[in-house]
Amino acid sequence: MRWADVTFLHWRYEPREVQRLLPPGLEVETFDGWAWVGLVPFAMTIRAARGPAVPWASFFPETNVRTYVRGPDGRTGIWFFSLDAARLAAVLVARARYGLPYVWARMRVQRDGSGDGAVLRYRSARRWPGRGRAASAVDVSVGPPIAPADVTALEEFLTARFRLYSRVWGRVLSAPAEHAPWPLHRAGPARVRDRLVEAAGLPPVAGEPVALYSPGVDVRVGRAERATRLRPMPGRAG
């Protein structure tokens, strides 16, 4: 997969507001005492291991609502409250294969201009399940690139994620998400009219988000396996 024209928008939340929505076995991960909830719209490209991409099936917008957690296996990763996508086939496959809460939506991504100063416009309205219940509109301008050495600890916390968690039949699953470090840009000001975060059961977004943009990376999601609690190594006899 390739995730392109990615905008990361994050807001602070009280940890208890987020923890109450997580399944048993997952613990909200905090930064500076806050839980962080992200609204992340982008353009998805899916290619099979062999053969050409099929434009009508392989290229589509997606928007996810997510937070960051520690799993029963002791690792950290992403918990998705929802993932809206514009291709029904992708929604059905991801729900069945990974137990992820994908939703079919009418969506578009529009870019005005190029390079620094370009404006990205993301639009989403849910179709199934929950038609008419939630929509999102985001306009954000692309700022200058951030040198890797200048990425802050918070910006790394919000973007450098290489594992996802889901829940199927009461079991917490974990899958690796392999990709290079995100090439990040400053972003903003962001104009956000969103109901997706609220539809997840959280208070509506408020205030200015922490906004970042990336032109994208290639991503490979591995096999989902049960995230079991790590056992301590047995001590050696003295």
When mean pLDDT is compared across 13-27, 191-205, 224-238, the lowest value belongs to: 224-238
Tokens of 220: 């490979």
Contact between residue 173 and residue 225 where contact means Cβ atoms under 8 Å apart: yes
- Quick check: 51 pLDDT over 60? no
Query: Has residue 235 been placed in a domain?
Result: no
Pairing of strands 76-85, 102-112: parallel
Query: In this predicted structure, what is the pLDDT of residue 132?
Result: 58
- Domain extent, residue 79, equals 2-226
Query: Has residue 52 been placed in a domain?
Result: yes
Side chain identity, residue 213: Y
Query: Has residue 31 been placed in a domain?
Result: yes
The domain that contains 217 carries what CATH number?
Answer: 2.40.400.10
Model pTM? 0.91
Query: Has residue 190 been placed in a domain?
Result: yes
Residue 77 phi, psi (nearest 5):
-175, -160
Mean pLDDT, range 194-210, rounded to an integer: 95
Query: In this predicted structure, what is the pLDDT of residue 237?
Result: 38
CB atoms within 10 A of CB 39: 23
Confidence of residue 211 (pLDDT cuts 50, 70, 90): very high
Contact between residue 44 and residue 144 where contact means Cβ atoms under 8 Å apart: no
Confidence of residue 160 (pLDDT cuts 50, 70, 90): very high
- Residues near 162 by Cβ (< 8 Å), separated by ≥ 6? 77, 176, 177, 178, 179
Query: Has residue 238 been placed in a domain?
Result: no
Tokens of 228: 């079991």
Query: Has residue 234 been placed in a domain?
Result: no
Write the pLDDT tens digit of every residue in 68-84: 999 999 999 999 999 99
Query: Has residue 57 been placed in a domain?
Result: yes
Mean pLDDT, range 155-160, rounded to an integer: 98
Q: Could you give the number of structural domains in the chain? A: 1
